[in-house]
Chains A and B, each alone.
Chain A
Amino acid sequence: MGGNGGEGVPLRLGLIVNPIAGMGGRVGLKGTDGPDAVDRARALGAVPVSGERAAIALATLRDAAPTGIEVVTVPGELGEFIARRAGYEPVVIGENYRPTGSSTDTIELARLMRDEGVALLLFAGGDGTARNVYEAVGMDLPALGIPTGVKMHSSVFATNPRSAGELAAHFLRSPNSVCREAEVMDIDEDAFREGRVSARLFGYLRVPFQRNLVQGLKSGSAGNEQGALNGIAAAIAEHMKDDSLWILGPGTTTRHIANALGLPKTLLGVDLYHHRKLVAPDANEREILRQLGDDPARLVVTPIGGQGYLFGRGNQQLSPAVIRRVGIENIIVVATPVKLAGLSGGALLVDTGDPELDDELRGYIRVVVNQRQESMQRIA
């Protein structure tokens, strides 16, 4: 059960922000687990995005539930600054704790939150952060993720920061709110950078449940989809003869297109092709923008299975600047019918980091599902 605060007794919400989560995305790294990766991300020009997104979630929470909620958090950029930016006067705990800048911080601070008796723990990060929260509190405490990481295979995250705020408010205020057990998954980041996905289930967190506001478990490829994949590959390959720069996003569906033309493809990266030749493998945002120049371009992307994210999950290299430069009308979405049928919310999702661009992308878009077969899908 969720909120149970009596008259006048404020409900306590715990907040932890993993400040480095998500830094790897736009510079083409596959996550920031481990200190080396953080340094590499900074060297490539990455800036922190986690705090900003957490602040959006808290501001939404404050709008949805202006009174009766007390935010309990930890000092500095791990939570306190964010809460204040959203207009809260937080209760700050763990002032004697010395942050190490590693995953230990999340684990230790989450335990402190639990001991403080918070009703819900809101955390900002990615799969690594979710694993740490799980390690600390297991199923003792309801928790909800604000999605700010690069990898978000776990289904413990709200679909975007705004939804996280809404869902938290709904959970705390409603006497009948319920939790579901949501998967905490993570993949080996080193293997991910080398192009192999090995997702592992680490456990379950209790997550407030509300349909469409929580990200579904990222599903693997199902059944015999070979026919549809071949059809999609044939449909796209036919057009790749033209003079455009072709940008293929990550995923097995897009890899199938490249392979049909005998071209290499980085499974989890963005690859650029021109006149049916690979011109830039595993390109980061800067490289993509450089290659784009003023030539016409086409961008081929496939949603993440289960969740339905088109932008903002696992392909942050396709930044708002890249998408705008390519032009929305030049985006080609591909997905097999099985993948579309398995979208938990029934819609595609976008979270580019630029709310205006997200709005422009919303509405109906054609999805290539086989050769000479398309489907109209809503981007929500």
Chain B
Amino acid sequence: MTRLRNFHAAQWDEPLILDMGTPGERGYIPPAVEPEIQNAAGPAESLIPAAMRRQTPPCLPEISQPGVLRHYLRLSQMTMGCHITPDASLGTCTMKYSPQINEHLARSPEMSDLHPLQDDDTTQGMLEIIYGLEQMLCEISGMSAFTFQPAGGSQAIFANACIIRAYHEERGEGELRDEIISTAFSHPIDCAAPAVAGYKVITLLPGPNGYPELDALKAAVSPRTAGLMMTNPEDTGIFNPHVEEFTRIVHEAGGLCAYDQANANGILGITRARENGFDLCQFNLHKTFSVPHGSTGGSCGAGGCTEELAKYLPVPMVAFDGERYYWDYDRPDSIGKIRSFHGNPQAVLRSYAWILAHGSEGLRQVAETAVLNNNYLQSLLQDIPGVSIKYDVPGHRLQEVRYSWESLFAETGVSSEDVRRRMVDFGLQGYFTSHHPMLIPEPFTLEPSESWSRSDLEEYGTVLSHIDAEARAEPALVQNAPYQASMTRIHEEALDLPDQRAMTWRGWKRKYGVAARAGANPRA
């Protein structure tokens, strides 16, 4: 078996950039403007209209170039990303290796200099790529149209909820149909997005095989059903084989069906949303289609639908008249805008290049390899005494598995969170536990995408097996981990407490006051 790494992360006691530098310190001081230029153009300030000039300078750190480089390189040394570790840890996130060539394309001046207000005649290449990716995703899903405006999966799912609403409103049933049905192991956004759109949400809980029973759905549908919004395979990696009956029952009740295909890595080229009976779907380009994850809004949730529903998609859409591509704003039935301008076209470009490089055979091979990798990792983990898998049903899981350390916890008191922190001591990223609700005790979710090698997976198995043995020999060793990481523990509770969490520097200063400025940890 693979050896355990003797790893130690860098530990830089690095302050926040906003607490660094000294007033007047500069990275680069441009040469003074020559008198001839100044005379011709006037003072620099006059180039900005008076009404747009700010009266006080922005509160930005003042710091030299080497200071900036040093700071960010140190932070990068303390980061565990998918270019440092084989990232099978973040199950449900589909962490795959994204080819560097696509990064170069996305960062090329031809791409980065584009402006959303340019005339269509000067952006024919980009419009062709957007139109082209739409055709590819239609082929992959069986749908008839796609929008790339949503900047993430959640926005695309919200758009789908809005389309369902628009559809029923047009039929005069908007008031009556106020319920959306989802499942407990779907991504929580399939409940949250329709709730934001004004719907009451009915959740179906897993039956004995891990997915909801048909009878639960039959009991849930009514004249008030607006639609079904679900994931398949669900978070457990189990594919609901009755999905066609699910969509049929909802259609018979007058509802629409939206397929959350954020993670399509287990079914790419194997099943299609349309043939499963769905009217709407979405792909997260940053999962299945090899775009780096954008961290809340930097990527693209591609939303697709049937021909009947296409008129509701966000405005504008790229159209082609046989000779020329253009943004079509003449869409009177559209739900409107979901995101400013056109979303993130760099994400569209990366996925377009990635799909072209694979071809249809290649896409199917992606899914097959991802499933094979997952089955192999599962076979390694099944030999670890403290690991169990709820819903031990016949057949294989697809691209991921939600495991449980329930028996390890019962026997040793070592929890899934403890194991997660200990992994880092062996140079692996801590894993994702579970979305809520946590129906599986002491959960952890692994998803070894097609990118990782057999030896990568064996390293995973070895590390988890070793930690299981440590937990039995000396539980406190695992419970107090990590020891070799950049930081020991973070106080995650603050994330759940509105008066403690701070999403911005301004928020941090407001909630923690002057103490934060002085670098003191107010929680310590």
- Considering the complex, give the chain A residue whose CB is closest to the CB of B195: A372
B200 touches A365 (CB 8 A): no
Does A84 have its Cβ within 8 Å of any Cβ on chain B?
Answer: no
Contacts A366-B220, A375-B205 known; A337 to B200 CB distance under 8 Å? no
Q: Which residues of B contact A372 (CB under 8 A)?
A: 195, 199-201
Q: Mark B184-210, 1 if CB is under 8 A from A, else 0.
A: 100000010001000111111101000
Q: Which residues of A contact B518 (CB under 8 A)?
A: none
B437 touches A337 (CB 8 A): yes
B437 touches A341 (CB 8 A): yes
Contacts A372-B195, A376-B216 known; A366 to B437 CB distance under 8 Å? no
| Beta-carbon contacts under 8 Å, B198-229 to A | 199-205, 207, 212-213, 215-220
Minimum distance in angstroms from B477 CB to a CB of chain A: 28
Complex alpha-carbon distance, A201 and B232, angstroms: 44
Contacts A341-B439, A372-B200, A373-B191 known; A363 to B205 CB distance under 8 Å? no
Of A341, A364, A374, which is within 8 A of B200 by CB? A374
Does A377 have its Cβ within 8 Å of any Cβ on chain B?
Answer: yes
Contacts A337-B437, A341-B438, A341-B439 known; A375 to B219 CB distance under 8 Å? no
B216 touches A378 (CB 8 A): yes
A376 touches B202 (CB 8 A): yes
Q: Which residues of B contact A340 (CB under 8 A)?
A: 205, 437
Of B203, B207, B217, B438, which is within 8 A of A374 by CB? B203
Complex alpha-carbon distance, A374 and B202, angstroms: 5
Complex alpha-carbon distance, A365 and B204, angstroms: 11
Q: Which residues of A contact B203 (CB under 8 A)?
A: 369, 373-376
Q: Which residues of A contact B216 (CB under 8 A)?
A: 364, 376, 378
A364 touches B220 (CB 8 A): yes
Q: Which residues of B contact A374 (CB under 8 A)?
A: 200-203
Complex alpha-carbon distance, A289 and B217, angstroms: 34
A363 touches B219 (CB 8 A): yes
Does A195 have its Cβ within 8 Å of any Cβ on chain B?
Answer: no
Most buried by A among B195, B199, B219: B219
Complex alpha-carbon distance, A375 and B218, angstroms: 13
Q: Mark B258-287, 1 if CB is under 8 A from A, else 0.
A: 000000000000000000000000000000
- Considering the complex, give the chain B residue whose CB is closest to the CB of A337: B437
Complex alpha-carbon distance, A378 and B217, angstroms: 11
Does A346 have its Cβ within 8 Å of any Cβ on chain B?
Answer: yes
Minimum distance in angstroms from A241 CB to a CB of chain B: 19
Q: Which residues of B contact A375 (CB under 8 A)?
A: 184, 202-205
| Beta-carbon contacts under 8 Å, A348-380 to B | 363-366, 369, 372-378
Contacts A341-B439, A364-B215 known; A346 to B220 CB distance under 8 Å? no
Q: Which residues of B contact A338 (CB under 8 A)?
A: 437
B205 touches A376 (CB 8 A): yes
Q: Which residues of B contact A378 (CB under 8 A)?
A: 205, 207, 213, 215-216
Complex alpha-carbon distance, A346 and B207, angstroms: 9
Complex alpha-carbon distance, A363 and B213, angstroms: 11
Of B202, B207, B217, which is within 8 A of A366 by CB? B202
- Considering the complex, give the chain B residue whose CB is closest to the CB of A346: B205
A365 touches B437 (CB 8 A): no
Complex alpha-carbon distance, A353 and B520, angstroms: 63
Q: Which residues of A contact B201 (CB under 8 A)?
A: 372-374
A376 touches B195 (CB 8 A): no
B439 touches A376 (CB 8 A): no
Minimum distance in angstroms from B234 CB to a CB of chain A: 15
Complex alpha-carbon distance, A346 and B205, angstroms: 9
Q: Which residues of B contact A365 (CB under 8 A)?
A: 219
Interface of B is mostly: mixed
Q: Which residues of A contact B200 (CB under 8 A)?
A: 372-374
A/B pair count, beta carbons within 8 Å: 53
| Beta-carbon contacts under 8 Å, B435-452 to A | 437-439
Q: Which residues of A contact B191 (CB under 8 A)?
A: 373
- Considering the complex, give the chain A residue whose CB is closest to the CB of B201: A373
Complex alpha-carbon distance, A366 and B222, angstroms: 12
Of B199, B220, B437, B438, which is within 8 A of A376 by CB? B220
Q: Which residues of B contact A373 (CB under 8 A)?
A: 191, 195, 200-201, 203
| Beta-carbon contacts under 8 Å, A169-220 to B | none
Minimum distance in angstroms from B221 CB to a CB of chain A: 10
Minimum distance in angstroms from B214 CB to a CB of chain A: 10
Q: Mark B161-205, 1 if CB is under 8 A from A, else 0.
A: 000000000000000000000001000000100010001111111
Complex alpha-carbon distance, A92 and B204, angstroms: 51
Of A346, A363, A376, which is within 8 A of B204 by CB? A376
- Considering the complex, give the chain B residue whose CB is closest to the CB of A341: B437
Minimum distance in angstroms from A8 CB to a CB of chain B: 38
Complex alpha-carbon distance, A373 and B205, angstroms: 13
Q: Which residues of A contact B205 (CB under 8 A)?
A: 340, 346, 375-378
Complex alpha-carbon distance, A377 and B203, angstroms: 9
Complex alpha-carbon distance, A338 and B401, angstroms: 23
Minimum distance in angstroms from B215 CB to a CB of chain A: 6
- Considering the complex, give the chain A residue whose CB is closest to the CB of B208: A346
Minimum distance in angstroms from B208 CB to a CB of chain A: 8
Q: Which residues of B contact A377 (CB under 8 A)?
A: 205
Complex alpha-carbon distance, A364 and B213, angstroms: 10
- Considering the complex, give the chain A residue whose CB is closest to the CB of B217: A376
Q: Which residues of A contact B207 (CB under 8 A)?
A: 378
A363 touches B202 (CB 8 A): no
Complex alpha-carbon distance, A375 and B183, angstroms: 9
Complex alpha-carbon distance, A338 and B439, angstroms: 9
Complex alpha-carbon distance, A372 and B191, angstroms: 11
Minimum distance in angstroms from A332 CB to a CB of chain B: 14
Complex alpha-carbon distance, A346 and B439, angstroms: 10
Minimum distance in angstroms from B246 CB to a CB of chain A: 13
Q: Which residues of B contact A366 (CB under 8 A)?
A: 202, 219-220
Complex alpha-carbon distance, A375 and B195, angstroms: 14
- Considering the complex, give the chain B residue whose CB is closest to the CB of A376: B216
Q: Which residues of B contact A341 (CB under 8 A)?
A: 437-439
- Considering the complex, give the chain A residue whose CB is closest to the CB of B203: A375
Q: Which residues of B contact A337 (CB under 8 A)?
A: 437
Minimum distance in angstroms from A29 CB to a CB of chain B: 35
Complex alpha-carbon distance, A338 and B437, angstroms: 8
- Considering the complex, give the chain B residue whose CB is closest to the CB of A372: B200
Most buried by A among B207, B213, B437: B437
Q: Which residues of A contact B439 (CB under 8 A)?
A: 341
Q: Which residues of A contact B437 (CB under 8 A)?
A: 337-338, 340-341
Minimum distance in angstroms from B161 CB to a CB of chain A: 14
Complex alpha-carbon distance, A21 and B158, angstroms: 55
Minimum distance in angstroms from B197 CB to a CB of chain A: 12
| Beta-carbon contacts under 8 Å, B404-444 to A | 437-439
Q: Pick 24 A–B contacts, CB within 8 A, sort by A.
A: A364-B218, A366-B219, A366-B220, A369-B203, A372-B195, A372-B200, A372-B201, A373-B200, A374-B200, A374-B202, A374-B203, A375-B203, A375-B204, A376-B202, A376-B203, A376-B204, A376-B212, A376-B216, A376-B217, A376-B220, A378-B205, A378-B207, A378-B215, A378-B216
A interface list, Cβ under 8 A from B? 337-338, 340-341, 346, 363-366, 369, 372-378
Given A372-B200, A373-B200, A373-B201, list of 14 further CB < 8 A pairs?
A: A337-B437, A341-B439, A364-B220, A365-B219, A366-B219, A369-B203, A372-B195, A372-B201, A374-B201, A374-B202, A375-B205, A376-B204, A377-B205, A378-B207
Pairs of residues from A and B, 7 with the lowest C-beta to C-beta distance, nearest first? A364-B219, A372-B200, A376-B216, A375-B203, A374-B202, A341-B437, A364-B216
